[in-house]
Structure formats: structure tokens, C-alpha cells
Amino acid sequence: MKMTKMKITLLTFLSLLVFETYAQKGYKVIYNVKPIDVFKDEKTYSKRVKYILEKTIEYSKKERYILLVNNNNSYFFRKARMDIDSDDKLTMLYSKLAKLQTTFNVNVFVNFQKNKIDFIRNLAGKDYYVHKDEFYNFSWDIKNKTKVISGLEAKKAVGKYYDIIRDKEFEIIAWFIPSIPIPAGPDVYFGLPGLVGEVHLRKAIVKIESIEEIDEIVRQPNFEDVMTYSDYLDFVTKANAKIKRDYN
């Protein structure tokens, strides 16, 4: 009898130990999108173009992105919407244009312990699965400015990001939350001493809409035919060179 109880106790302890190893306190963060500078040169736009831009803004504001994160991993992905993801051609067009406001990778899984990233990048309608053995270096410069995001104090940071698709370097402004000391954020925009609550991109401001604590495993998605980041760089470089040859 005692032996049976001891076995049950031991099994319970081991089960709790395994659960504690894989499930830990984390957060579910939902980000929304606010387009910027869409009508910067509106005097030059035709009525048709203005209408398309207005619809793009409308659809962009409906976009939501989810970040599941704990101290070990994070997983960032777009939340599917029934009113956007349909077979209607115009709806699909506005949805695609709305996604271009952020140009986010389709899915991003981060291992903070090993400094590794896996993501899916959609190029010309095709998904490419990419593995990167180190984080992006934004050369973050933390400023002495603060503001409140979702009831939490955030600090400003300014960095630089080289976009290999456009072959240009852009300034990135981020606001991170020191009270949540996890170096996570939307897409690849992270690496600060706190969760990124807001990031200013070229065409949009992405900001936390809600945040809640969770106790669950942040699972790595199944990626197929994964290419190394160096192969991905080589592929994009050759594709850009071909575009320049064809259109110049």
C-alpha cells in the first residue's frame, strides 16, 4: 500500500516537473495597426486611387496580430478575420494592400535561449521558410523619454533596420515596457530590455491593443523546406537584380 502511494506521489511529482519545464507564465499580446502618411501626396491621386487608399486604411485598421511569449520563446502571427479572408476579388485585393502597410513576415518563432529565429516570408505570392541563427541588430539607442501604453510605462528607443527587399535602411522607433523584461516584440522588431508595446514603421504604427497573462507552451510551428538566412539573402539579391534588369 505504501509502495503504491509512493509510486503515485513520485509520478505526480515527475508530471508536475515536466509541466513546469514546458509551461510557464507568459503573455498573449494583441497588436493593432494604424496607417500613416497614406494621403501625403493626395493632390496627385485620382478619385479611383484615393478610393483604393481609403479602403486600404479601412482594412488595415481591422488587422490584428498576436504575440504569444514567455521567457524562452515567442510566436508572432496574424489573426485571421472572417470578414477579410474571403474569395471576393476586391476583398482579397484590399486585404493584401492592408498587409503591405506593415510588410510583416507571415509567422515568426523566436528562441531567446539560442538567439534563433524562424519565419515565413511571402514574396510574389509564394511562402519561403527561413531560419536565422542570430537576431537582427537594430543598434537600439534608448532615449530618456517615456509614455504609457496599455496602462504600463514604456521607454523610447530608436534603431536602424536594413530592408533587403527594398535594399534600403530605415529608422525604426519602438516603445518598450521595462516592467515586462522579455526582449520580445512584433515580427522581428525586438531585442530591447522589455516587451515592445509600440513600433513605428514606414507606413504604420503597430501598438498593443490588449495584453493578458497566460500559462501555456509557446510551440514552434512546423516549417517545410527551410532555407538558411544566407540562402535567403542570396535569393533576394538575385531577384532584385533581375527586377532591375527587366524594368530599367
Helix/strand/coil (H/E/C) assignment for every residue in 18-76: HHHHHCEEEEEEEEEEEECCCCCCHHHCCHHHHHHHHHHHHHHCCCEEEEEEECCEEEE
What's the whole-number average pLDDT of the chain?
A: 82
How far is 21 from 14, CA to CA, in rounded Å? 10
Query: pLDDT tens digits, residue range 37-81?
Result: 655 555 667 777 777 777 777 777 888 999 999 999 999 998 876
Q: In what order do the strands lie in the sheet containing 141-149? A: 141-149, 152-163, 168-177, 195-200, 204-216, 24-35, 64-70, 73-78, 107-111, 116-123, 126-132, 227-228
Is the pLDDT assigned to residue 226 strictly greater than 60? yes
Query: pLDDT tens digits, residue range 133-164?
Result: 999 999 999 999 999 999 999 999 999 998 88
Report pTM: 0.81
How far is 174 from 207, CA to CA, in rounded Å? 10
Predicted confidence band at 19 (pLDDT cuts at 50, 70, 90)? very low
Q: List, in sequence order, every residue forming a beta bridge with 119; answer none if it has no partner.
A: 108, 130
User: Which domains are delineated in the chain?
Assistant: 24-243 (2.50.20)
Query: pLDDT tens digits, residue range 110-135?
Result: 999 999 999 998 887 788 999 999 99
Q: What pLDDT does 237 receive?
A: 86
